[in-house]
Amino acid sequence: MSEVGFTTMGKAANGGEIETIGVGMLGYAFMGKAHSNAYKTLPYMAWPPPLMPLLVSIAGRNEEAVAEAARRYGFSEAVTDWKAIVADDRVRLFDNSGPNALHSEPTIAAAEAGKHVICEKPLGRDAAESYETWQRVQAAGVKHMCAFNYRFLPAVRLARQIIESGELGELQHFRGAYLQEWGTTEGEIWRFNKAEAGSGALGDLAAHVIDLSRYLVGEIGDVAAMTQTFIAGRDVDDAVESAVRFENGAVGTIEASRFCQGRKNHFTWEINGSKGSLAFDLERLNELQYSEGNAGFRTVLVSEADHPFWEFWWPQGHMIGWEHTFVHEIHHLLTAIRDDTDVAPHGATLEDGYRAAEVCDAMLRSAQRGAREKVNYR
């Protein structure tokens, strides 16, 4: 591997006062916890932080629970209506960690109130909703990010650098699968309800695969997909299977399922180029497999690399965890806000959120119509 030439993240070592940024958050469950941890951790791990987050206000429907969340994570205030955050002048960054059905309206409202926004994925419940969200936020002129956090895995950034450097040659294949096992879970979970979730494994898991394939390989041209629902009466897909062709001629498969016993959080991808191959497994997120030419796969412990995400952490071989992707992601967003730089290409914007949704919709159409479908961006 030649020198991959990372530029390190700018670190102002001025020692002067660090500018602050007020953060308002919608949601305090799984994603709210992960985002809160990022705001609290990044200031001392990436010292000095680009901006010092102040946790101003957190919104949730359950008054008692949101009050407890505020106390736990250190938000100054808890509210039961997200519109209070939109109206709060102390808030410069609106963090939407809520469920899918609450992605679009609050994100648009916050942006139109002049706040920068970060919104969890999938951006909308379908491509139309995602498009509307992107367009209106874009028109508001604020910084915007769709929280495809896996772009901020050290292994993924390293893969992107290797590909950009040309070391992999012409890209010929991408095969990605995101497999989990909890799909038989009973009870009323919003993720199994189309009105609330939009889709099943598709928007929840395949969207991650699609985003990384776009980040690493390029735009997807067309798809030939099938979906399957294993549990009778459920109105979302339990699994999606697709052949895909990229605009640059690479072909491959994209798959997602919640019905794979023994696969806890098994997001794997492999890219084959004319000069080498890369392979990754999220359950071993500190490793990237790299075959230079046909030399055989080398376990690149990404902790060893001179890497923009690594300077924050520990010496080589001291593994980082899943949640650190959010630290890197929000650090990236705060830097873009401070410096007025682009969130793209390393960060996913709402446009990227929309584009992933458009691919998801093409897969659904293909599955329904039994035909190969072009991805047509509006």
Q: What gap in Å lies between CA 104 and CA 127, rounded to an integer?
A: 12
Of residues 103 through 142, those in contact with its own copies by CB under 8 A are none
Which x/- pattern over 68-97 shows residues binding its own copies (rule: CB under 8 A)?
Answer: x---xxx-----------------------
| CB closer to its own copies, 268 vs 349 | 268
Residues forming a β-bridge with 301: 287
Burial status of residue 262 (CB atoms within 10 A of its CB: 0-12, 13-18, 19 or more): exposed
In the complex, minimum distance from the CB of residue 164 to its own copies, in angstroms, rounded to a whole number:
18
- List the one residue from 29, 139, 195, 371 that touches its own copies (CB under 8 A): 371
> What would the two tokens of residue 149 be?
């956090």
Q: What are phi and psi of 23, to 5 degrees?
A: -115, 130
> What would the two tokens of residue 231 be?
């549990």
In the complex, minimum distance from the CB of residue 231 to its own copies, in angstroms, rounded to a whole number:
11
| CB closer to its own copies, 140 vs 179 | 179
| CB closer to its own copies, 144 vs 263 | 263
DSSP string of 14-28, one letter each residue: --SPPPEEEEEEE--
Q: What gap in Å lies between CA 183 and CA 376, rounded to an integer?
A: 31
| CB closer to its own copies, 37 vs 135 | 37
| CB closer to its own copies, 15 vs 233 | 15
The CA distances from residue 310 to 157, 185, 249, 306, 328, in Å, are: 11, 37, 34, 7, 10
> What would the two tokens of residue 163 be?
């590909």
Which x/- pattern over 319-358 shows residues binding its own copies (rule: CB under 8 A)?
Answer: xxxxxx----------------------------------
In the complex, minimum distance from the CB of residue 2 to its own copies, in angstroms, rounded to a whole number:
12
Q: What gap in Å lies between CA 269 and CA 258, rounded to an integer?
A: 17
Q: First-to-last CA distance in the chain?
A: 39
What's 42-66 look like in SS3? HHHHCCCCCCEEEEEEEECCCHHHH
In the complex, minimum distance from the CB of residue 7 to its own copies, in angstroms, rounded to a whole number:
22
| CB closer to its own copies, 170 vs 342 | 170
Q: What gap in Å lies between CA 228 and CA 326, rounded to an integer?
A: 31
Options 87-95, 204-212, 250-258, 338-346: segment touching its own copies (CB under 8 A): 250-258
230 binds its own copies (CB under 8 A): yes
Q: What gap in Å lies between CA 99 and CA 241, rounded to an integer?
A: 25
In the complex, minimum distance from the CB of residue 203 to its own copies, in angstroms, rounded to a whole number:
18
| CB closer to its own copies, 90 vs 372 | 372
Of residues 32 through 71, those in contact with its own copies by CB under 8 A are 34, 36-37, 40-41, 43-45, 47-48, 68
Of residues 273 through 292, those in contact with its own copies by CB under 8 A are 273-277, 282-286, 291
Which x/- pattern over 171-200 shows residues binding its own copies (rule: CB under 8 A)?
Answer: -xx-x-x-xxx--x----------------
In the complex, minimum distance from the CB of residue 238 to its own copies, in angstroms, rounded to a whole number:
8
| CB closer to its own copies, 303 vs 335 | 303
Of residues 292 through 321, those in contact with its own copies by CB under 8 A are 293-301, 303-304, 313-321
* Residue 370, phi-psi category: left (phi > 0), alpha (psi -120 to 50), beta (remainder): left
- 8 Å CB contact between 103 and 65: no
| CB closer to its own copies, 104 vs 303 | 303
Which 3 state secondary structure label does DSSP give 34?
Answer: helix
**Which residue has tokens 């736990």?**
72
Burial status of residue 137 (CB atoms within 10 A of its CB: 0-12, 13-18, 19 or more): buried
In the complex, minimum distance from the CB of residue 263 to its own copies, in angstroms, rounded to a whole number:
7
224 binds its own copies (CB under 8 A): yes
In the complex, minimum distance from the CB of residue 62 to its own copies, in angstroms, rounded to a whole number:
14
